[in-house]
Amino acid sequence: MALAVEAAQPVAVAGDAWLFAPAIRKGATAWLRVPAASGDPATPTRHAGDVLVVRRGGSQRRVYDGGCSQPLDCATVRDPAAAAGRFAFAVTPNADTGYLAAVGNTGAASILYADETGEPASLVWSVDGDRIVWALPAGILSRPLDGDAAAETIVPGRDLEGDVVRVAASRAGVAWIARRRDADALYVAGPGAAPRLVRTEGARGLAGVALAPDGAVISVRRVSTPTGRRERFEVMIDRAGAEPVRISQSAAVPVGSQPPMPRVDGSLVVFRTYTTLSGGRELVLVYDLASGARARVTQADRRLARLSDPAVAGRRVIWTRSDLVGQRLVRSSVLVSVIRERK
């Protein structure tokens, strides 16, 4: 069985702003935007912006507007994620305050967690089904997106084994990357189960994680070239009792390039990667965990356009493309393609 990618359909187009960090759910889409003059060609792969836009039923609403007046002010809302008829998102209005919130069909946002301690706010979070999960030194917490119940600890702090820099959730449990001075470790814990070490890499050797409903752990591994000036990103699949499987390896790109951030829905995994010599082209790929089939969703010459990290829901993939002339933005588009099975 192969995967077929239908022609992309535009959801939104702007010439005065960078559109990026998109999310999708049934009947609605969301994305971030930054004024054209306040961004640059690296903006589409970032995950914090100035405005959160939600589109539903043909109309668009600004759920959050940071009103940035200079580039440093344009990163106060973090990428939305879809679950349970809502979009969850994070807001960090300053360096020592952070909020996790969700917005539903009414357009009204509710705060699910507030960090107003005065300490530097570092929000590491994910969503699954009807809940949001986030990591604190005290542990990984979970709360329903409707806010009707209080947060509960699902992994105690003593089991985190380091600073949590990425977390992912699904009905299979929760997975996270624990960072220590000399190594990154990938862990997974099923509902009510003790954490299991999946894999250990060198310092800053892991860059992203997603957790499939069947328990497969999708991660992004950094691999340095011999000179240490460039690196490759490998997308790996880990299953309990099996050897890890590499499903993608990027071209070598300069150290500091934005790593892929994989997303999963059902059996479909989507991610962005770099290809050709020196990473001069970007791809968005889709991979089926059940069949092993893969397909290219889109591609772009990085001299002419930049792609965002994609998201997926209900076999629909969403991403953004920002067309350039030199370093100047010409047009930024939110696009959606449907993934079909082709026998």
Task: State what percent of residues in the chain have pLDDT above 70.
Answer: 98
pLDDT per residue over 43-97, tens digit each? 999 999 999 999 998 899 999 999 987 766 789 999 899 988 999 999 998 888 8
Res 292: pLDDT: 96
Q: Say if residues 124 and 113 touch (Cβ distance below 8 Å).
A: no
Res 279: pLDDT: 65
pLDDT at 278 > cutoff 80: no
pLDDT at 149 > cutoff 80: yes
Q: Say if residues 68 and 35 touch (Cβ distance below 8 Å).
A: yes
pLDDT at 252 > cutoff 80: yes
Res 120: pLDDT: 61
- pLDDT, the chain, mean: 94
Q: Say if residues 132 and 142 touch (Cβ distance below 8 Å).
A: yes
Split at pLDDT 50, 70, 90, the class of 343 is confident
Whole-number Cα distances in Å, 53 to 43, 75, 334: 16, 14, 11
Please give the domain boundaries of the chain with CATH numbers for all domains: 2-342 (2.130.10.10)
Among the residue ranges 107-111, 285-289, 323-327, the one predicted with the least confidence is 107-111
Res 276: pLDDT: 84
Closest CA to 224 of 203, 243, 238, 210: 203
